[in-house]
Amino acid sequence: MSYSTSTPPVLQFQAIAGIRVWYHTSADATATVDDSGFITNGGALGMKVNDIVLHKDSTTDATALTMHKVVSVSSTYPGAVDLSDGTVVGSATNTN
């Protein structure tokens, strides 16, 4: 699947100074989200380098939440965004 501008990341926390946190859910796997330029309109949304993006693959509840850092935002409108490799924040398993 590919990114859709109709379901963009949503700003969750706005910092007065510093990083902001965005949340995105889609049927895209972490490996796809890691692709350079995956978020095609990040600059237009207001994303900046060092912001954090939490991504949830919506295809199953058993999928972990991953965290990515905004590595770059293209200066060409609408500002494609390159995200860092994802780090699992919440495991998809519960052993208790």
Residue 1 has pLDDT above 70, yes or no: no
Decide: helix, strand or coil at residue 34: coil
Enter the pTM of the model: 0.87
Report whether pLDDT(5) > 70.
yes
pLDDT at 92 (0 to 100): 67
Residue 2 scores a pLDDT above 90: no
Say which residues have a Cβ less than 8 Å from residue 69's Cβ, sequence separation at least 6. 50, 51, 52, 53, 83, 84
Tell me the pLDDT tens digit for each residue of 30-87. 888 888 899 999 999 999 999 999 998 888 766 778 999 999 999 999 999 999 998 8
Helices (H), the chain: 30-33, 42-45
β partners of residue 25:
56
